[in-house]
A = this chain, B = another copy of it.
Amino acid sequence: MLLLSAARALVDDIDSGVRASGFTDLRPAHGFAFVRLSGTGATTTELAEHLEITKQAASQMADELIRKGYVERRPHPTDARARLLVLTEKGQACTRAADAAAARTLEPLAASLTPDQKATLRTALTRLATPGRIRPIW
């Protein structure tokens, strides 16, 4: 219960932080997409796998993010069928805002823990976590 509630609180904080930074047309779900797109970008199919939704739904979400200016489609360097989805400057600014909001929420906790306690926390969560599976489904 505590685990679920803490996760929810973190997502809520990030969401309201992002909104307070002026990105009011995004939902938390978009953040999970940004996680995959940041860096070198991803194809529609890769995004779909990351979000565990169909590629049609991923494509639709990409269209929305493009329309809102967070993402752009580029030709794929090696595959003429595929196109690469990458974050625009606005998209990157948004992820920075999200990171800042997360840090703001976690900082007081981090400051109150000894290095040992942090390690305990990190280890415990790591043992439960399934790498890459961030987005809840239900």
- Residues of chain A whose beta carbon lies under 8 Å from any beta carbon of chain B: 1-12, 15, 27-29, 105-106, 108-109, 112-113, 117, 120-122, 124-138
Contacts and interface: CB of A to CB of B under 8 A. Distances in A.
A3 B124 contact: no
Kindly list the 10 A-B residue pairs having the minimum CB-CB distance in the complex, ordered from nearest: A7-B7, A5-B129, A28-B138, A6-B128, A2-B125, A6-B125, A6-B129, A9-B130, A29-B138, A117-B120
Contact of A134 (B4, B109, B120, B132): B4
A7 to B, nearest CB: 4
A134 B6 contact: no
A135 B9 CA distance: 10
A1 B108 CA distance: 17
